């Protein structure tokens, strides 16, 4: 029987034929794809023809087409619907793919051809996009060890394979802790919880085969439980389990893994001639240096910490007012902050949430894209990897633009968080290839027959991930290596964070924030209170984020620590971390940093991009219309459609006329007037 991953796909829009793919099909398909890629590389290096952009760079771009085809399908299911078989395949594939990557970038004959092109680049009559691809290709090879020789070359390859293995293990340990823990509740334990939390707990219990409600470690369920449960003992139990992910001892403990990862990254940087891993990693980002990152983070940390400490005093007074002596604890913060928000802004999450239906927020995200970029969205019936997934064809003026897949609900087989990925990326080298883009979230799944309701933070997450999706869908470049979100890490969050701003446009909420039962629009006074409270709790939110970013930076700008948790404590103590706030991502579950290299030394990038997104949205304000067509066209032309085809600083400057300062960020978070 033909492997469905290797046969032509006749499914709608070229989707993987998920209904016909068995887990046993992936390994032989990957092996065949690797063999094809190796053969393609050999064809490049064995040719007697002199190096040209077409026979070297373009041929290299196309060499792993089948591998991308197969892995696009596999990674979609392995992250969002993991099984024991798929986890085993991840452990098998990670070192194998890392070894192949090293094999390519350390191929002396291949690099010699690239280097010849680089040295003769001024005489090659390249387009601007081709010149950029050549620069990035050579840089990637050099940074992957192409200039190393002998034992150093072999050691770097071994380090890369080991890092791939450890990153996969870290991710799977975290998923196991999140999947296996839950706290069963008696009906009496639901007292004081709003209906949507009760419904979410009952749905989670049914999904896990329990006879009653449970609280899981899904953020969409545990956070509202911490906000609303009057049971301090249960809040503590849930919170301690949440922050202990990856640090529970036994086979799923991530502390030793994270320690080894840091040591190997430091060794990698030394082999490549850098003072630290942070110096190596940041060299190609907009920030360029660890010092620039630290300057930004500390400019925000100081006023944020001052605001958080002032908030802590207020919340402590509320705690004491309830007759509880002692200090405000981390499991108390969200509970009393929610009470304070209701008192100061007359804003009740339980009252607000029925107006934020998932389906209506999806409609809102689509409608904004229609008004800004002329996109249309039509539901399609297509084979997807899970029954919860939905798909839409995206078009403009009758032309197919992309297929968009939404996978919104939490489940035990899905890793935590939210992300955007592409089963297929846009490119023109092999025809007009349009992307298949996936948004994955972890919203609480409602009970059968009930609408899915979001918190305002959930709705922001939906808009955030859809901003990433637009970056993929509107891509219009020739080469896949620079398409869509293939940009600097501290630039990639600009489109996503910028898109969040449209959720706050009053016209959008007036139209799409409608009550789940009555269909009535959100009352204007509630809308005004919601927008007025948008900066409520910014001290807490900023401190928990910046603390994580500074720990990440601290781990990577010095020698690897012997005791990673002691180093985390040392960094936080040095910052004066408020005692009732924890890092948003403590080290043992800091998947951004340890599941792979993507955000290592780069968790700051959300804030770096926020400096730009606050300034970028101001361009629409200055035009007097959040949907100003000229500004939207400029945003697409200079940011969303061009991927990594130019330096991000040049792209942003062309859009806005200059690079922004930190002032817009501080103003947007309500921190501009706070003194540290």
Confirm if 72 and 423 have CB atoms less than 8 A apart. yes
Q: What is the pLDDT of residue 487?
A: 97
Inter-CA distances, 179 with 81, 172, 238, 416, Å: 12, 10, 14, 10
Q: What is the mean pLDDT of residues 285-292?
A: 96
Residues 593-622: tens digit of each pLDDT = 999 988 999 999 999 999 999 999 999 999
Q: What is the mean pLDDT of residues 565-589?
A: 97
- What phi and psi, each to the nearest 5 degrees, are found at residue 197? -75, -40
Q: What is the pLDDT of residue 664?
A: 83
Residues 651-672: tens digit of each pLDDT = 999 999 999 988 888 888 888 7
Percent of the chain at pLDDT > 70 equals 99
Q: What is the mean pLDDT of residues 525-533?
A: 92
Residues 253-278: tens digit of each pLDDT = 999 999 999 999 999 999 999 999 99
CB atoms within 10 A of CB 579: 13
Mind listing the domains of the chain with CATH numbers? 12-169 (1.10.1370.40), 181-245 (no CATH), 275-353+536-668 (1.10.1370.10), 355-364+375-504 (3.40.390.10)
Question: Per-residue pLDDT for 203 more than 80?
Answer: yes
Q: What is the mean pLDDT of residues 285-302?
A: 96
Separation CA 299–CA 275 (nearest Å): 25
Q: What is the pLDDT of residue 675?
A: 64
| Angle made by CA atoms 259, 262, 263, in degrees to the nearest 5 | 90
Residues 480-508: tens digit of each pLDDT = 999 999 999 999 999 999 999 999 999 99
Say what the pTM is. 0.95
Q: What is the pLDDT of residue 676?
A: 58
Q: What is the mean pLDDT of residues 211-230?
A: 95
With tokens 């992309």, the residue in question is: 402
Residue 399, beta-bridge partner list = 396
Could you tell me the sign of the dihedral formed by the alpha carbons of 93, 97, 98, 100, in that order?
positive
Question: Per-residue pLDDT for 83 more than 80?
Answer: yes
Q: What is the mean pLDDT of residues 34-52?
A: 98
- What phi and psi, each to the nearest 5 degrees, are found at residue 440? -120, 130
Separation CA 628–CA 633 (nearest Å): 9
Q: What is the pLDDT of residue 350?
A: 86
Q: Of 124-133, 186-195, 338-347, 665-674, which gets the smallest average pLDDT?
A: 665-674
Residues 155-200: tens digit of each pLDDT = 999 999 999 999 999 999 999 999 999 999 999 999 999 999 999 9
Residues 405-449: tens digit of each pLDDT = 999 999 999 998 999 999 999 999 999 999 999 999 999 999 888
Percent of the chain at pLDDT > 90 equals 94
Confirm if 12 and 382 have CB atoms less than 8 A apart. yes
Question: 419 Cβ partners below 8 Å, 6+ apart?
Answer: 79, 439, 440, 465
Dihedral of the alpha carbons of 128, 129, 131, 134, in degrees to the nearest 10: 180
What is the set of active-site residues?
A: 465
Q: What 3-state class would DSSP assign to 356?
A: coil
Confirm if 675 and 303 have CB atoms less than 8 A apart. yes
Separation CA 151–CA 570 (nearest Å): 36
406-438: string of b/e by CB count within 10 Å (b at 16+)?
bbbbbbbbbbbbbebbbbbbbbeeeeebbbbbb
Question: Per-residue pLDDT for 305 more than 90?
Answer: yes
Q: What 3-state class would DSSP assign to 556?
A: helix
Helix pair 84-105, 23-46: axis angle to 10 deg: 10
Question: 215 Cβ partners below 8 Å, 6+ apart?
Answer: 182, 183, 185, 201, 204, 221, 222, 225, 234, 238
Q: What average pLDDT does the chain have?
A: 96
Separation CA 481–CA 643 (nearest Å): 9
Query: DSSP string covering 85-143, please?
Result: HHHHHHHHHHHHHHHHHHHHHT-HHHHHHHHHHHHTGGGS---HHHHHHHHHHHHHHHH
Which two tokens mark 257? 């893994």
């Amino acid at each position: 029987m033909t492997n469905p991953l290797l046969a032509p796909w006749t499914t709608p829009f070229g989707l993987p034929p998920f209904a016909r793919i068995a887990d046993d099909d992936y390994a032989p398909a990957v092996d065949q794809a690797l063999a094809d890629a190796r053969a393609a590389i050999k064809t490049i290096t064995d040719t007697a023809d002199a190096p040209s952009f077409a026979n070297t760079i373009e041929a290299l771009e196309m060499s792993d087409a089948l591998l991308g085809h197969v892995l696009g399908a596999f990674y979609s299911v392995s992250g969002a619907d993991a099984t024991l078989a798929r986890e085993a395949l991840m452990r098998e594939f990670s070192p194998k793919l890392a070894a192949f990557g090293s094999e390519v970038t350390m191929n002396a004959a291949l690099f010699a051809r690239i280097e010849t092109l680089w040295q003769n680049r001024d005489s090659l009559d390249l387009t601007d996009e081709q010149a950029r691809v050549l620069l990035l290709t050579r840089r990637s090879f050099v940074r992957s060890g192409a200039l190393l020789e002998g034992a150093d070359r072999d050691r770097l390859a071994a380090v890369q394979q080991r890092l791939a293995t450890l990153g996969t293990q870290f991710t799977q340990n975290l998923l196991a802790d999140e999947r296996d823990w839950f706290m069963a509740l008696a009906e009496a334990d639901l007292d004081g919880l709003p209906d949507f939390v009760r419904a979410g707990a009952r749905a989670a219990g049914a999904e896990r085969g329990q006879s009653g409600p449970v609280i899981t470690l899904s953020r969409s369920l545990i956070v509202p439980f911490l906000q609303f449960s009057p049971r301090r003992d249960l809040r503590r139990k849930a919170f301690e389990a949440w922050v202990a992910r990856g640090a529970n001892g036994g086979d799923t403990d991530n502390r030793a893994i994270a320690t080894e990862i840091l040591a190997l990254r430091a060794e990698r940087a030394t082999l490549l001639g850098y003072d630290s891993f942070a110096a190596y990693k940041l060299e190609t980002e907009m920030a360029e240096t660890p010092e620039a990152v630290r300057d930004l983070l500390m400019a925000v940390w100081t006023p944020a910490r001052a605001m958080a400490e002032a908030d802590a005093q207020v919340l402590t007074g509320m705690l004491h007012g309830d007759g509880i002596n002692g200090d405000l604890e981390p499991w108390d913060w969200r509970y009393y902050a929610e009470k304070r928000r209701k008192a100061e802004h007359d804003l009740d999450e339980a009252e607000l949430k029925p107006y934020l239906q998932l389906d209506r927020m999806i409609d809102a995200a689509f409608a904004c894209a229609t008004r800004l970029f002329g996109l249309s969205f039509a539901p399609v019936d297509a084979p997807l990897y899970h029954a919860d997934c939905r798909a839409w064809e995206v078009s403009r003026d009758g032309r197919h633009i992309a297929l968009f897949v939404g996978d919104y609900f939490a489940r035990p087989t899905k890793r935590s968080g939210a992300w955007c990925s592409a089963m297929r990326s846009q490119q023109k080298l092999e025809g007009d290839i349009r992307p298949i883009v996936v948004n994955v979230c972890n919203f609480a799944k409602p009970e059968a027959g009930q609408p899915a309701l979001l918190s305002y933070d959930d709705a922001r997450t939906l808009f955030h991930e859809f901003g990433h999706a637009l970056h993929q869908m509107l891509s219009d470049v020739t080469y896949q290596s620079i398409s869509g979100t293939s940009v600097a890490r501290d630039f990639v969050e600009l489109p996503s964070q910028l898109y969040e701003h449209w959720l706050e446009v009053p016209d959008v909420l007036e139209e799409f924030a409608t009550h789940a039962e009555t269909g009535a629009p959100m009352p204007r006074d509630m809308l005004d209170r919601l927008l007025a409270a948008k900066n409520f709790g910014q001290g807490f939110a900023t401190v928990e984020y910046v603390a994580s970013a500074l720990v990440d930076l601290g781990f990577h700008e010095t020698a690897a620590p012997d005791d990673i948790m002691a180093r985390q404590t040392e960094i936080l103590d040095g910052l004066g971390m408020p005692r009732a706030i924890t890092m948003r991502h403590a080290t043992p579950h800091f998947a951004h940093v340890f599941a792979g290299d993507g955000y290592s030394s780069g968790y700051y990038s959300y804030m770096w991009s926020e400096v730009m997104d606050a300034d970028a949205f101001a361009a629409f304000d200055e035009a007097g219309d959040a949907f100003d067509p000229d500004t939207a066209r400029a945003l697409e032309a200079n940011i969303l459609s061009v991927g990594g085809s130019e330096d991000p600083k040049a792209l942003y400057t062309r859009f806005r006329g200059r690079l922004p300062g930190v002032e817009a960020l501080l103003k947007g978070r309500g921190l501009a007037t706070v003194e540290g």
